[in-house]
């Protein structure tokens, strides 16, 4: 897109935002481009976006993020709210690593190994179908910020835990809780259960999925950052490999990483192991600190959301209001799945608040 074409798109977005006012809410994930973030009304991680969208009086919510984020907004939306995705082809490879059938098979395998019905905990980065199954089985959703609280709460009820889809977040949570590694196991797509101990005594069973953005970071990257800038503080996302998290100075969700930089003194120096757009935004937000990426690691799925695709969503709202067309890329979920997924999300909120 040429410069003049891009300017026309940006002007068109601003015009339609002004026309519809509070009827439209544009929500962007932290990993979006600077252009999209600048045009958005709220910015946050996946859970914050769904929660903030729920609190909005907007009739239309345009969710600038990958598809599971738009689904989460639908799950929590009030009656009459409509959620649009600028590009529903912006999926999350990790979320797609497990579907409802695979999750059911894994829960069956754990029951066979332990004699107990496992409590499913699905990461926010999961499909509506797996969230719904978690709700059906009296499980919960979790985020990278509250995973430890949710795992601790559900495991205290005497049930083994099945954690999906990110093995790294699960393993890092287990380490944070001090769980015996011999009681933590991996569950494969073939229903195999792998670990060093006896599966019958397992406490935590991790689906063998991963985030391709965070899988790129290595212990060697951490060592290179320290060698290049002695005294630098290395902070990473808990979707990184456990060895990387252990080598870093701190870890946390995108909200937590932002907080660490915000609370640091001027002239502090950080190297950040997470998605590239977020690191660039962090550096721009705190120019009196030095913020650099542990390595460049963009989320290609997030990059599918552009100002042009956002403009198409706004145009479709305008055209539908005029009776000249239909909404483009409205995200919907069947009512049964929505109710069960909502149950899992509400369980997360209750468990997190109870642990405060």
- Transcribe 130-164 into DSSP letters: HHHHHHHTT-EEE-TTTHHHHHHHHHTTT--EEEE
**CATH class of domain segment(s) 3-90+302-325:** alpha beta
Domain ranges of the chain: 3-90+302-325, 95-210+340-354, 217-293
pLDDT on residue 46: 80
Residue 51's pLDDT band, with cuts at 50, 70 and 90, is confident
Res. 354 pLDDT band, cuts 50 70 90: confident
Mean pLDDT of the chain: 94
Q: Is the pLDDT of residue 132 over 70?
A: yes
- pLDDT at residue 352, as a whole number: 80
Report the C-alpha gap between 139 and 120 in whole angstroms.
5
- Over the stretch 339-348, which tens digit does the pLDDT of each residue have? 999 999 989 8
Q: Is residue 117 predicted with pLDDT exceeding 80?
A: yes
How do residues 84-98 score in pLDDT, each as one tens digit?
Answer: 999 999 999 999 999
Element (H, E) at 329: none
> Given this model, what pLDDT does residue 47 score?
76
Cβ pair 64, 309 in contact under 8 A: no
Confidence bin at 52 (pLDDT 50/70/90): confident
Q: Is the pLDDT of residue 1 over 60?
A: no
Predicted pLDDT at 6: 81
As a whole number, mean pLDDT of residues 277-288 equals 95
DSSP output for 29-87: ETTS-HHHHHH-SEEE-HHHHHHHHHH---SEEEEES-HHHHHHHHHHPPTT-EEE-S-
In whole angstroms, give the CA distance from residue 70 to residue 46: 9
Which strands make up the sheet holding 184-187, listed edge to edge? 140-142, 119-123, 161-164, 204-207, 184-187, 193-194
pLDDT tens figures, 166-225: 999 999 999 999 999 999 999 999 999 999 999 999 999 999 999 999 999 999 999 999
Q: Classify the C-alpha dihedral 176-206-255-51 as positive or negative.
A: negative
CATH of domain 95-210+340-354: 3.40.50.10800
Is residue 166 within 8 A of residue 151, CB to CB? The reply is no
- 6 in helix, strand or coil? helix
User: One fold for both 95-210+340-354 and 217-293?
Assistant: yes
Alpha carbon 257 to its chain centroid, in Å, reads 14
pLDDT of residue 26: 96
Each residue of 7-50: pLDDT tens digit?
899 999 999 999 999 999 999 999 999 899 999 999 988 878 87
Among the ranges given (4-13, 50-59, 107-116), the one the predictor scored with the smallest mean pLDDT: 50-59
- CATH 3.40.50.10800 holds for 217-293: yes
Percent of the chain at pLDDT above 90?
Answer: 88
Band (356; pLDDT cuts 50, 70, 90): low
By mean pLDDT, which of 51-60, 107-116, 261-270, 319-328 is the weakest? Answer: 51-60
Q: What's the pLDDT score for residue 4?
A: 65
């Amino acid at each position: 897109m040429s410069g003049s074409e891009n300017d026309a798109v940006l002007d068109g977005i601003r015009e339609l935002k002004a026309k519809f006012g509070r009827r439209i809410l544009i929500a962007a994930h932290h990993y979006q481009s600077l252009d999209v973030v600048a045009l958005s009304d709220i910015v946050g991680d996946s859970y914050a976006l769904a929660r903030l969208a729920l609190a909005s009086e907007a009739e239309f919510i345009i969710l600038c993020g990958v598809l599971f984020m738009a689904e989460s907004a639908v799950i929590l939306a009030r009656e009459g709210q409509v959620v649009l995705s600028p590009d529903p082809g912006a999926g999350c490879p990790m979320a797609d690593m497990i579907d409802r059938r695979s999750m059911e098979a894994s829960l069956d395998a754990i029951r066979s190994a332990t004699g107990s019905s496992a409590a499913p905990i699905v990461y926010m980065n999961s499909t509506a179908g797996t969230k719904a199954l978690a709700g059906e089985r009296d499980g919960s959703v979790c985020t990278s910020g509250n995973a430890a609280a949710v795992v601790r709460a559900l495991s205290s009820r005497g049930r083994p835990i099945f954690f999906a889809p990110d093995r790294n977040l699960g393993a890092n949570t287990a380490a944070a809780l001090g769980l015996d590694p011999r009681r933590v196991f991996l569950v494969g797509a073939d229903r195999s259960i792998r670990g060093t101990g006896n599966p019958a005594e397992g406490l935590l069973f991790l689906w063998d999925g991963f985030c391709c953005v965070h899988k790129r970071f290595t212990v060697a990257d951490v060592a290179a950052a320290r060698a290049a800038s002695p005294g630098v503080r290395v902070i990473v996302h808990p979707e990184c490999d456990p060895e990387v998290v252990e080598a870093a100075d701190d870890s946390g969700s995108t909200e937590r990483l932002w907080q660490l930089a915000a609370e640091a003194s001027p002239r502090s120096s950080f190297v950040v192991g997470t998605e590239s757009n977020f690191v660039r935004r962090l550096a721009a937000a705190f120019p009196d600190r030095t913020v650099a990426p542990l390595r460049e690691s963009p989320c290609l799925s997030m990059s599918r959301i552009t100002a042009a695709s956002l403009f198409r969503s706004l145009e479709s709202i305008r055209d539908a209001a005029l009776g000249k067309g239909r909404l483009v890329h409205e995200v919907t979920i069947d009512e049964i799945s929505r109710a069960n997924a909502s149950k899992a999300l509400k369980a997360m909120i209750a468990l997190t608040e109870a642990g405060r």
